[in-house]
């Protein structure tokens, strides 16, 4: 049986982890390789890097991070943040990323998704959707949640599937950082509409939220950041809890 995945996400800025594990005796808390290795050794099913480097001149730092990490980390590595073009995707894949997540660029020009999935295969193209509730519907936001595109998130999700996305990484802007749980309605609506796997993100504060994301949100995978970084729970504990609730996990 296919297992539900737990994916810790690390924020990387200028080649250093700025939001990551904050509790163990790290030799170097800013080292992405060391952090990724701790998670993969601890049973994480995949690792996600979100590059939040703001300035253009430091954009290349992520390539070095990916290259180093992929030499030491033998579970799938997804990299997102600032991916603009097929060329950017190509560079990340060549450095050792297994999947690349595309956000703003996919909203602005879905051809990036069409072209990259044709060129590299759908298996490595993740479309990240940042969605926020507006009345009865959810709208897609771009530029790290700053701009409202006004696009309906459900229709957009379907369009991305048709364009060749292999997975959708759906983040609720309303819930992100709140620790009150995923936006279950958003997750289940999108998951029911598409036939590709959905990764739920935004709002996890405890292990029951992970369970809800999978059971009610119909997510194939759950992404979380702070509950793991600050030592509230380990990936292993999360898996044991999911298993106790009847959710199949890799142990």
Partner 1 sequence: MNVTIVDYKSGNISSVINSFKEVAENKVKIEVTSDVSKIKSTDKVVLPGQGSFKSCVDALQSINGLVDCLNDFAMNKKKPLLGICVGLQMFADVGYEESETKGLGWIPGKVTKIDNQNGKYKLPHIGWNQINIVKDSKIFKDIKDKSHMYFVHSYEFVPSDKNSISATTEYSSKHVCSVEKENIFGTQFHPEKSDKTGLKIINNFINL
Q: Which residues lie near partner 1 (CB under 8 A)?
A: 1-5, 40, 45, 70-72, 74-76, 93-98, 119-124, 166-167, 195-197, 220-221, 250
Shortest spacing between CB 197 and partner 1, in angstroms: 5
**Shortest spacing between CB 75 and partner 1, in angstroms:** 6
Q: Which residues are tagged catalytic?
A: 11, 130
| Bridge partners for 22 per DSSP | none
Residue linked to tokens 């170097």: 28
Q: Which is nearer to partner 1, 19 or 250 (CB)?
A: 250
Question: Closer CB to partner 1, residue 174 or residue 243?
Answer: 243
Shortest Å distance, C-beta 46 to partner 1:
8
Phi/psi at 172 (nearest 5 deg)? -85, 120
How buried is 101 (Cβ within 10 angstroms: 0-12 exposed, 13-18 middle, 19+ buried)?
buried
Nearest to 140 by CA among 126, 156, 127: 156
The sign of the CA dihedral 192, 178, 48, 101 is positive
For partner 1, the closer of residues 74 and 136 by Cβ is: 74
**Closest distance of CB 250 from partner 1, Å:** 4
Closest-CA residue to 7 (of 142, 192, 141, 202): 202
Longest dimension (CA), the chain: 48
**What is the closest distance, in whole angstroms, from the C-beta atom of residue 190 to partner 1 in the complex?**
12
Cβ proximity to partner 1: between 151 and 223 the closer is: 223
* Integer Cα distance of 66 and 89 in angstroms: 12
Neighbours of 195 (CB within 10 A): 8
The residue (of 83 and 173) whose beta carbon lies closer to partner 1 is: 83
């Amino acid at each position: 049986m296919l297992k539900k995945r737990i994916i810790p996400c690390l924020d990387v800025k200028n080649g250093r982890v700025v939001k990551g594990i904050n509790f163990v005796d790290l030799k170097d808390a800013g080292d992405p390789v060391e952090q990724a290795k701790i998670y993969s050794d601890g049973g994480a099913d995949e690792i996600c890097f979100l590059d939040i480097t703001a300035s253009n001149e430091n954009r290349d730092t992520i390539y070095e991070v990916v290259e180093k990490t992929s030499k030491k980390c033998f579970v799938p590595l997804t990299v997102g943040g600032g991916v603009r073009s097929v060329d950017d995707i190509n560079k990340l894949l060549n450095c050792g990323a297994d999947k690349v997540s595309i956000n703003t660029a996919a909203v602005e020009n879905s051809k990036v998704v069409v072209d990259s999935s044709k060129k590299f295969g759908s298996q490595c193209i993740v479309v990240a959707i940042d969605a926020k509730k507006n009345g009865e519907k959810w709208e897609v936001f771009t530029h790290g949640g700053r701009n409202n595109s006004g696009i309906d998130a459900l229709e957009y999700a379907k369009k991305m599937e048709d364009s060749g996305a292999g997975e959708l990484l759906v983040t609720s802007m309303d819930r992100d950082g709140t620790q009150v749980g995923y936006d279950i309605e958003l997750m289940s609506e999108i998951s029911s509409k598409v036939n590709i796997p959905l990764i739920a993100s935004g709002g996890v504060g405890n292990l029951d939220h992970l369970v809800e994301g999978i059971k009610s949100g119909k997510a194939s995978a759950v992404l979380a950041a702070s509950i793991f970084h600050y030592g509230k729970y380990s990936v292993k504990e999360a898996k044991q809890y999911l298993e106790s609730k009847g959710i199949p996990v890799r142990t």
